[in-house]
Amino acid sequence: MDVNIDLSNLPDVILPKFYTYLKDKNRYQVYYGGAGSGKSWFVTQRLLLKILVGYKLGHIHRVIALRKTQPACRQSVFAGLKSLISDWNLNSLVEVNKSEMIFNFSNGSQILCGGLDQEEKIKSIFGLTDIWLEEANQFTKEDFYQLDLRLRTITPFTKQIFLSFNPVSKYNWVYKEFFHNVNKKATVLQSTYRDNKFLDQEYIERLEELAAQDKNFYNIYNQGNWGQLEHLIYSNYSIIDSFPETYNEVIYGIDWGYNAPTAIVQVGEKDKDFYLKELLYQTKLTNSEVIEKLKTLIPSEYRRKRYIYCDTAEPQRIQELCDAGFIAYPSDKSVKDGINYLKMKKLYIDSNSKNIIDELESYSYKKDKDDNIIDDPVKAFDHTLDASRYAIYTNWGVARMRPQIII
């Protein structure tokens, strides 16, 4: 197949901060910094460019792009690659296996996406030329070493491992491996949202607001510096692979968003313990789109039997849920009381609920100007936890009269 690939406009599509790193040949490529800096998008671009250059040089690449779990990979890495291939008008060169999350290129190159929870699948992959660990700090040192050993294919080009992450804590193997010690085979680049000219203004404002909420969050997610998340709010949870087959009651919580994600969480109660499962975490959804997704997420036989507790910020959206046949209520949004109630309970988190887990690992209390801890949580990266609190506290923590539902 004769393919004419024009890469002359790369300076227009690659952020200036990253452009000079396109040809860096060190084995380890470490991209870290604040939220929204473009680091993950650059890795996506660079891996795709490697394959496109391979068309010209006759090189075949076999890339594996990983998150810690398969669902997290599907939502982020796989979705990002799919979007970039479409943006660059490359669909005619790529066959996408959506169920297996594999991109097969017409010259024989591949990008395989997955999670380390698919251990047997990962072990069966050979001939790798490049590896990407997105949110690398969520992997273990042993994960990294084992994957590094798999990058041993004889090729005419440089084999590389890409790591991208927010520098949440120095008490992590990544810091010791690439920052505390000098690794001569590593290229390290720090970036912040200021390096991303494509970022929307609302997201920038959210990052700037962190300065008034929590200096450590601001240091990590705004400034892109190494931090230490302290005073986490929830420690009373366990991450599990299997949930009970039956519950005393099942309900749902919704935190509305548009530019920020809309989050929907299912909560099952059994023996006074709560089981949380992430059902939806997505931006740019209209209410009609949310309703259509709810019709898929909640079986029809339960729509008039299970309560949905919603963020009260947009009452018209709650009414539209009711008009669509769901039992939707405004939630009690008492933050302190709701958090205190949840802290007294045992929470079990579905291991595939990537965003709930991510938020639990960073949800912390603010400090005042004198560095004293105060009872207010940092208002950032909390969408699934807000949805969970709305549901649990309103349904079980607050005495409320609800109409008896007769089917």
Q: What is the CATH number of the domain that holds 68?
A: 3.40.50.300
Residues 48 and 160 in one domain: yes
pLDDT band at 370 (very low <50, low <70, confident <90, very high): confident
For residue 70, pLDDT beyond 90: no
What's the pLDDT at 368? 77
User: Considering 143, 171, 200, which residue would you say is the last residue of a domain?
Assistant: 200
- Pair of tokens at residue 117: 């929870």
Distance CA 386, CA 209 (A): 18
Residues 52 and 195 in one domain: yes
For residue 102, pLDDT beyond 80: yes
What's the pLDDT at 400? 54
Q: What is the CATH number of the domain that holds 338?
A: 3.30.420.280
Using H for helix, E for strand and C for coil, what is the string for 58-89? CCCCEEEEEECCHHHHHHHHHHHHHHHHHHCC
Residue 5 falls inside a structural domain:
no
Residues 337 and 280 in one domain: yes
Q: What does the angle CA 324 – CA 326 – CA 329 come to, to the nearest 5 degrees?
A: 115
Residue 221 falls inside a structural domain:
no
For residue 403, pLDDT beyond 70: no
Residue 1 falls inside a structural domain:
no
Q: Would the pTM count as exceeding 0.85?
A: no
Residue 278 falls inside a structural domain:
yes
CA distances to 127, 130, 168, 343 from 232, rounded to whole Å, are: 42, 36, 13, 11
What is the tally of structural domains in the chain?
Answer: 2
Percentage of the chain beyond pLDDT 90 is: 68
Mean pLDDT, the chain, whole residue set = 91
What's the pLDDT at 274? 97
What's the pLDDT at 405? 46
Q: What is the mean pLDDT of residues 328-342?
A: 94
241: domain range?
237-397
User: Could you tell me if 261 and 283 are in contact, meaning their C-beta atoms sit under 8 angstroms apart?
Assistant: yes
What's the pLDDT at 226? 93
Residues 157 and 243 in one domain: no
Q: What is the mean pLDDT of residues 109-117?
A: 92
Residue 215 falls inside a structural domain:
no
Residues 384 and 242 in one domain: yes
Residues 161 and 275 in one domain: no
User: Could you tell me if 207 and 193 are in contact, meaning their C-beta atoms sit under 8 angstroms apart?
Assistant: yes
